[in-house]
């Protein structure tokens, strides 16, 4: 299984525990139409919508991976399930979609059976400029990984059981 | 909310289905059970083959639904969407 280690460094190039605490464990990602759906779209004579890029933040508190719902809709995806989640305003149903996540800097592809549509508007990784978060990578992704968060030193490592890989 | 009809149908049939399909993944479109499958992936592939790219419900038949936790949602850091989807 492929491995990725991300070192968080300060402006002097030293490993930064505070920097990791500030930004968390995040990955550039692309959200794609899953291949089964892409086949249907192509057979119908339509063009498969282009993937959407952004940041995926690893969230060990989330049962399912959450993706900005507007993005899932813009990809022409339809809900294939429903979950009830606790929110600040009490329990409410949310749509579940199929999705494919690609990690472009690594060439990794991961087909996620289920991703919940959420509103992540305004969420960003601090930086200049801030990078918009489009997904919270939850435990249905982490169940296919070994994830080590070294908060004392300032790095994290993930080993991921991917669906496919391609050269970067 | 999308899949309202399907969820209502599942809830109305749940007790009967628990006797026959407990643990299986039911594939539901409107008020029809299209099949039951051993895994979620099998149900998804069957749904796409039978129906194409339209909303449908895959639901594991079980006594109690699993609790889905999203602390970031619970504290209001992010919001659950509730888009209505029309095929």
Give the list of residues 6+ apart from residue A106 with CB closer than 8 angstroms, or none.
A2, A4, A165, A168
Tell me what the pLDDT averaged over chain A comes to.
91
The total domain count for chain A is: 1
Note the ipTM here: 0.85
Interval A108-126: pLDDT, tens: 999 988 999 998 888 888 8
Task: Give the number of other CB atoms < 10 A from CB of residue A15.
Answer: 15
Q: Report the pLDDT value the prediction gives residue B83, as an integer from 0 to 100.
A: 47
* A166 located within any domain: no
Q: How far is A14 from chain B (nearest CA, A)?
A: 31
Q: Report the pLDDT value the prediction gives residue A92, as an integer from 0 to 100.
A: 80
For strand A145-150 and strand A155-160, is the pairing parallel, antiparallel, or unpaired? Answer: antiparallel
Of A48-52, A58-62, A95-99, B83-87, the one with minimum mean pLDDT is B83-87
- Give residue A163's pLDDT band: very low, low, confident or very high (50, 70, 90): confident
Domain that holds residue A95: 28-147
H or E element, residue B39: none
* A63 located within any domain: yes
Considering CB atoms only, which of B54, B68, B73 is closest to A78?
B54
**Under an 8 A CB cutoff, do B3 and A119 touch?**
no
Residue to mutate among A24, A35, A87, A89, with most B CBs inside 10 A, is: A87
CATH of the domain at A86: 2.40.70.10
Q: How far apart are CA B22 and CA A67, in angstroms?
A: 30
Q: How far is B24 from chain A (nearest CA, A)?
A: 15
Q: Report the pLDDT value the prediction gives residue A126, as an integer from 0 to 100.
A: 82
Q: How far apart are CA A89 and CA A111, in angstroms?
A: 31
Q: How far apart are CA A95 and CA A69, in angstroms?
A: 9
Q: Report the pLDDT value the prediction gives residue B64, as an integer from 0 to 100.
A: 87
Report yes or no: A33 and A23 within 8 Å, Cβ to Cβ. no
Q: How far is B13 from chain A (nearest CA, A)?
A: 17
Compare B3 and B87 and report the one with higher pLDDT: B3
What pTM, to 2 d.p., does this model score? 0.89
């Amino acid at each position: 299984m492929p491995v990725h280690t991300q070192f968080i460094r300060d402006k002097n190039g030293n490993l930064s525990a505070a920097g990791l605490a500030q930004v968390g464990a995040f990955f550039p990602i692309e959200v794609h139409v899953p291949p089964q759906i892409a086949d249907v779209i192509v057979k119908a004579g339509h063009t498969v919508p282009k993937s959407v890029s952004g940041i995926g933040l690893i969230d060990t508190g989330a049962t399912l991976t959450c993706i900005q719902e507007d993005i899932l809709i813009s990809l022409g995806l339809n809900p294939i399930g429903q979950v009830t989640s606790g929110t600040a305003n009490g329990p409410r149903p949310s749509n579940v979609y199929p999705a494919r996540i690609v990690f472009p800097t690594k060439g990794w592809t991961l087909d996620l059976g289920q991703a919940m549509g959420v509103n992540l508007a305004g969420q960003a990784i601090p930086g200049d400029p801030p990078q918009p978060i489009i997904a919270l990578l939850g435990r249905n992704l982490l169940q296919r990984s070994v994830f080590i968060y070294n908060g004392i030193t300032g790095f994290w490592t993930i080993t991921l059981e991917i669906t496919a890989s391609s050269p970067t | 909310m999308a899949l309202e009809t399907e969820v209502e149908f599942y809830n109305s049939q749940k007790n009967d289905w628990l006797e026959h399909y407990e643990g299986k993944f039911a594939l539901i479109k409107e008020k029809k059970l299209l099949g039951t499958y051993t895994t979620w992936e099998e149900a998804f592939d069957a749904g796409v083959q039978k129906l194409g790219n339209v909303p449908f419900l895959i639901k594991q038949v079980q006594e109690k639904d699993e609790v889905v936790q999203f602390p970031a949602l619970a504290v209001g850091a992010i919001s659950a969407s509730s888009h209505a989807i029309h095929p």
